[in-house]
A and B are shown apart, each in its own frame.
Chain A
Amino acid sequence: DAGVIQSPRHEVTEMGQEVTLRCKPISGHNSLFWYRQTMMRGLELLIYFNNNVPIDDSGMPEDRFSAKMPNASFSTLKIQPSEPRDSAVYFCASSSTLNYGYTFGSGTRLTVV
């Protein structure tokens, strides 16, 4: 099992540009979570999906953020337009309803200059 795969690992972009982060969950997992990690705010849940359906997006900071899960094996988190305060490490995690454990990806370190 390759685990949760995120791409890219690092992204540097200019303010105002669109950024798309990608995630491939573990096969068979039916819940997917997007988290943001910063020194100031720790791990924040942005949005989560259950069976490809967005369940709770109350953590999405602004309308500039959007997430999709078109099928069970792929999800994207998009920021448009990006701002310097969006700089953080973005993690994707997946889990199975058969147990409670999350498996996190290695994250995408986003820097907006």
Chain B
Amino acid sequence: QQQVKQSPQSLIVQKGGISIINCAYENTAFDYFPWYQQFPGKGPALLIAIRPDVSEKKEGRFTISFNKSAKQFSLHIMDSQPGDSATYFCAASIADSSYKLIFGSGTRLLVRP
């Protein structure tokens, strides 16, 4: 019940296209859903996050869509660029004193020029 399931494992998109990565969870106590971006040789970096009281959050070309009833959330990257090529992780946590994040398995995105 603590798992966060992420798909696809890898994704290839043409420059200018839309990249979509999906995640699903079981634990209804989760109340914070961030996405992290990781470049080779670097640590994951917070990209965008959402709480379950909203269904969508947009920051620039990055949008999180959240479906509370389906227990699913997704990351959409509009106008994908080669510089977006990285590994993306979804995560979830519960608002207790620890803020412990449970990560998905990651999606390796390649944006072709």
Contact = CB atoms under 8 A, between A and B. Distances in A.
A93 B42 CA distance: 12
A57 B103 CA distance: 17
A7 B15 CA distance: 37
B49 A48 contact: no
A52 B52 CA distance: 30
A101 B98 contact: no
A113 interface: no
B83 to A, nearest CB: 19
Contacts of B100: 33, 45, 48, 56
Size bracket, chain B contacts: 20 to 34
Contacts of B49: 100-101
B101 A102 contact: yes
Contact of A97 (B44, B45, B99): B99
The secondary-structure label for the interface of chain A is strand
Interface of A: 4, 31, 33, 42-43, 45, 48, 50, 55-56, 91, 93, 95, 97, 100-107
Contacts of A4: 43
B106 A42 contact: yes
B105 A106 contact: no
B89 interface: yes
Contacts of B34: 100-102
B97 interface: yes
Residue in A42, A93, A106 with the greatest tally of chain B CB atoms within 10 Å? A42
A45 B106 CA distance: 15
B32 to A, nearest CB: 5
16 contacts: A33-B100, A42-B89, A42-B105, A50-B98, A55-B97, A91-B43, A93-B43, A100-B99, A101-B46, A101-B49, A102-B34, A102-B36, A102-B101, A103-B46, A106-B43, A107-B43
